[in-house]
Amino acid sequence: MRYVNQDMDNNSIGKRIRNAREKLKLTREEFSELIGLSSFYVGQLERGERQMSLNTLIKISSHLHVSTDYLIYGDKDNYVEKSRILILLNRCSKKQLSFIENIIQLVLSYSNDKV
């Protein structure tokens, strides 16, 4: 975690929220209903007109499957790749998710031994 001594850029944060929402193919109304906020308020956030509380930031990042760091600072650390993977994972059954989890654990244990 890092600390940057500067004002929050609400416009950039709003653009990242909108881009992440659109990447998930959610309308503003669908997303607003999903997170329990008004569509008007979400629109204000996306346009950079409002600053959100920490609880709202966490709720938004969780439902968009992005980190709070990405929303605040715009870090691209594997964002596109992780986003595509999360979209695919959301389409999986519980049985498929369990299988995928086992594969990931196996790959990580193998790569940790070799690194």
Q: Which residue has the higher pLDDT, 79 or 16?
A: 16
Q: Which residue has the higher pLDDT, 32 or 70?
A: 32
Backbone angles phi, psi at 112, to 5 degrees: -65, -35
Question: Which of 15, 13, 11 is CA-nearest to residue 23?
Answer: 15
Place of tokens 């996306």: 46
Q: Please give the average per-residue pLDDT across 8-32, as a whole number.
A: 94
Which pLDDT belongs to residue 77?
56
Fold of the domain built from segment(s) 10-114: 434 Repressor (Amino-terminal Domain) (1.10.260)
Which pLDDT belongs to residue 81?
66
Which pLDDT belongs to residue 110?
86
Q: Please give the average per-residue pLDDT across 36-63, as a whole number.
A: 96
Q: Reduced to 3 DSSP states, what percent helix, strand and coil does the chain have, rounded to the nearest 5?
A: 70, 0, 30
